[in-house]
Amino acid sequence: MTWHEGEQIGPYQIMSQLGQGGMATVYKAYHARLDRHVAIKVMHQTFMADETFITRFQREAQIVARLEHPHIVPVYDFNEHKGQPYLVMKYVPGVTLKQRILKSPLPLNDVLYVLNAVGSALAYAHNRGVLHRDVKPSNIVIDKDNIPYLADFGLARIAAAGESTLSADVLLGTPNYISPEQASGVKNLDGRTDIYSLGIVLYELLVGRVPFTADTPYAVIHNHIYTPIPEPSKINPDIPLSVEAVLLKATAKKPQERYATADEMLTALRDAVAEARLTALSDDRDSVADLSLSQYRDSMAASRIIAEPAAATPTPIAGISAPAKGYRTATVYQPAGSGRMWMIGGCGSFLGISFLGLMVLLGAWNNLLEFGEIMQSLAPAQPSGMVIALGRGSPFADLPIYPIPYIFEPAMADEALRMTPRDSFAHLTAAHTYWRSDPARSYATIAQGRQYAEEAVMYLLTAAALADENNDAAAAITYTLLALHEAEKAPDEYNRIRPAAGAYLYRAAEQIAGGTGEISLNIVGEMYSPEELRQVQDSGPRVFVTARVLLLRGNARLANAALSRGAATSDFAAEIDLVQGEIEAATRRRAQAIALWQALVDDETAPEWIQERAEELLEEHTAS
């Protein structure tokens, strides 16, 4: 449910939407009795049926409400509106630190002021058992009075809970700032994971750039875990050795080698600046760092672990990649932020990202501009050969799927599975890699990963998209049918994906008809019981796509017989009537075909793509 300008939510009147993320939308609102503006964070309707999300949201409110610090965005209220829980926070007009430094580097005094404010906020939170876990410049807001605030403790967890960042409960962190232990999925994190991230922020502010950038988030994460931090004084000669020592200690690979507390780090920084008598930094340190880090990366190229093929580019799939003229896939649902994701990817070849990086990216959807920020930070290093083809041109662009990467070496996909054998994203990523050489291995990997997928519909639709990208239309159809079967367990989910899934099945039948592949549930393995597979076999979408394949292969009689089995399937009655009309036309029953198509054009409940396709067929057959 979207809230609109002027709508009254309890005592708050909605003024405008500030942003939207994977789990929540943030609005600016006005409290008339208190005469103040606030920011309201409301959970998306999609998650309302999931008690896990609701519990997490309530826990978030309780945790953050305990934090009262002059440099932490405070929570004022927690309530529900029409069943949707929401948080009310202080509205902080201003810019993020990320936006500020993109314009020009901060003067030294401002760097020290911001670090002191954020460090003191972290020290306060850590003393109360709360970790931030996603310290970065875009979570530091500087208001119009130049006061820094540490924002988005909204997904923080009490340190004593000891939950892994890469657990099923929550995925947090940004590749450029994530600590080695957090990236590795270590449990029992403590405040030193935030100190590492704060150290990377300080490195960026003083040196001019973050220490690690690479072609993929995986490579960035790999560097955080294994590669020594580039020595600041060698990247930027303005950095005194005493300050360098602070940066290196704050960003040590092992937590026990870092500062124990944020206060200790701040004290060391002040002492180091005073010892070096440092009063200013060069205004062009970002340019200097660009050049130095480029040379540093060149020297490390020999140890690069991801191979870049010379000409890996997306291969358009004839008849499917783009909708046929006259009809299109209805826009039904996209995960929040996905439009921005594809917009960035559409500017050129989409960046290749691998498994561990993907997990971090998916968790980052909880932050309003996370994915776009990551792509922006990696864009300068973008190679021409590393791509993800699931973008605007994909027939799955209007369905809820994960942006699964392509790892160019099967051995690396094997390693991802070995490292996290219970992670569904690892299985999807590995399947994507195996497909070109061993489709059967991809089927088995997807079947194995299904048991670990919390969101079965998105998991199966992503598997379908990967099959489609690899020209395996038969498998793509099978996984789409399974996704529809899963979605039937949640009516809202089913209604969201049904039109676009139906449009894909209709078009994918052309691929099957023109090749030698057959729609088969044999690839499913042991994902479903024989009874469930019989339900899929007899379902409306399976009936109509099978009938269309038979029709396109020139066997209208068998197509009609197959279609009659699904005549009573009301949820796909429109698709069945569309194909029935094509059968009637193929058997020279023109009047019956026209009547069926006209009824679909006039049926306001039919999906938009069906109405448009029926209208196209009407024009084609009435003109002849």
Q: Is residue 268 a contact partner of residue 249, using CB atoms and an 8 Å limit? A: yes
Residue 367 lies in a domain: no
User: Is position 315 within any domain?
Assistant: no
Do the domain assignments include residue 143?
yes
129 and 225: one domain?
yes
Same domain, 106 and 36: no
418, 514: one domain: yes
pLDDT digits (tens, 9 = 90+) for 241-260: 999 999 999 999 999 999 99
Q: What is the mean pLDDT of residues 455-463?
A: 86
Task: Decide: 194 and 101 in contact? Cβ < 8 Å.
Answer: no
Whether 568 and 437 share a structural domain: yes
How many whole angstroms separate alpha carbon 79 and alpha carbon 218? 39
Pairing of strands 24-31, 36-43: antiparallel
Q: Name the DSSP letter for residue 228.
A: P
Residue with tokens 């340019």: 287
Give the end of a domain, one of 71, 90, 109.
90
CA 165 to chain centre: 16
Torsion angle of C-alpha atoms 471, 454, 539, 550, degrees rounded to 10? 0
Q: What is the pLDDT of residues 162-220, one digit of tens each?
A: 333 323 233 345 689 999 988 877 778 899 999 999 999 999 999 999 999 876 676 78
Question: What is the spatial distance between Cα 153 and Cα 609, in angstroms, rounded to a whole number?
Answer: 43
597 and 609 belong to one structural domain: yes
For the cut 80, the answer to whether the pLDDT of residue 316 exceeds it is no
Is residue 417 one of the residues assigned to a domain?
Answer: yes
Q: Where are the alpha helices (DSSP H) in 81-190?
A: 97-103, 108-127, 180-183
CATH of the domain at 59: 3.30.200.20
Average pLDDT for residues 86-108, to the nearest whole number?
91
Contact (CB, 8 A) for 119 and 262 = yes
Question: Which residue would you say has higher pLDDT here, 111 or 403?
Answer: 111
Choose between 513 and 215: higher pLDDT: 513
Strand partners, 142: 95, 148
Is 290 one of the catalytic residues?
no
Same domain, 457 and 591: yes
Distance of alpha carbon 336 from alpha carbon 320, whole angstroms: 25
Asked whether the beta carbons of 414 and 377 are under 8 A apart, the reply is: no
CB atoms within 10 A of CB 152: 25
Residue 571 shares a structural domain with residue 424: yes
If phi over 0 gives left and psi between -120 and 50 gives alpha, with beta otherwise, what is residue 554?
Answer: left
CATH number at residue 298: 1.10.510.10
Choosing from 35, 110, 134, 438, the catalytic residue is 134
In this predicted structure, the answer to whether residue 13 has a pLDDT above a threshold of 60 is yes
Phi/psi at 184 (5° precision):
-85, -5
> pLDDT higher for 125 or 153?
125
Same domain membership, residue 72 and residue 27: yes
Q: Is the pLDDT of residue 612 over 50?
A: yes
Last residue of a domain, one of 288, 303, 318: 303
Are 20 and 161 part of one and the same domain? no
DSSP per-residue codes, 342-363: HHHHTTSSPPP--HHHHHHHHH
Binning pLDDT at 50, 70 and 90, where does residue 397 land? low
Q: In the chain, how many domains are there? A: 3
Q: Is 331 helix (H, G, I), strand (E, B) or coil?
A: coil
**Per-residue model confidence as pLDDT tens digits over 357-372:** 333 333 333 332 333 3
| DSSP secondary structure, 527-572, as one string | SS-HHHHHHHHTSHHHHHHHHHHHHHTT-HHHHHHHHHTTTT-GGG
CATH number of 444's domain: 1.25.40
Percent of the chain scoring above 90 in pLDDT: 25
CA pair distance 227, 108, nearest whole angstrom: 28
User: At a CB cut-off of 8 Å and minimum separation 6, what does 273 contact?
Assistant: 108, 112, 242, 243
User: Cα–Cα distances in Å, from 104 out to 12, 114, 209, 280, 286?
Assistant: 37, 15, 12, 14, 9
Q: Is residue 380 part of a domain?
A: no
Residue 384 — very low, low, confident or very high, per pLDDT cuts 50/70/90? very low
Nearest to residue 213, comparing CAs of 243, 235, 184?
235
Q: How far apart are CA 454 and CA 451, in angstroms?
A: 8
371 within a domain of the structure (yes/no):
no
How are beta strands 36-43 and 75-81 bridged, if at all?
A: unpaired
Among residues 189, 216, 207, which one has the least CA distance to residue 243? Answer: 207
Q: 334 and 365 in contact (C-beta within 8 Å)? A: no
The first and second tokens of residue 527, run together, are 């994902």
Q: What is the pLDDT of residues 531-567, one digit of tens each?
A: 888 888 888 888 888 888 888 888 888 888 877 765 5
Examine the domain organization and report whether 207 and 271 are in the same domain: yes
pLDDT of residue 21: 58
- Beta bridge partners, 14, equal 29
Q: Residues near 397 by Cβ (< 8 Å), separated by ≥ 6?
A: 329, 334, 342, 390, 391
Assign residue 569 a region (left: φ > 0; alpha: ψ between -120 and 50; beta: otherwise): beta
Tell me which residue of 436, 543, 539, 433 sits closest to 483, measured CA to CA.
539
- Give the strand pairing for 140-143 and 148-150: antiparallel
Q: Of 72, 90, 108, which marks where a domain is finished?
A: 90
Whether residues 526 and 617 fall in one domain: yes
Q: What is the mean pLDDT of residues 326-332?
A: 27
Asked whether 3 and 26 are in contact (CB, 8 A), the reply is no
Element containing residue 24 per DSSP (H, E) = strand 24-31
Per residue in 33-54, pLDDT tens? 999 999 998 876 665 656 666 6
Which of 149-153, 399-403, 419-423, 464-468 is least confident?
Answer: 399-403
Band of pLDDT at residue 332, cut at 50, 70 and 90: very low
Q: How far apart are the first and last CA of the chain?
A: 47
Residues 491 and 410 in one domain: yes
Average pLDDT over residues 418-446: 84
Q: How confident is the model at residue 330 (pLDDT cuts 50, 70, 90)?
A: very low
Domain span at 586: 402-622
Residue 507 belongs to some domain of the structure: yes
Q: Is residue 27 part of a domain?
A: yes
C-alpha dist (Å) from residue 366 to 47, 153, 178, 363: 13, 11, 16, 6
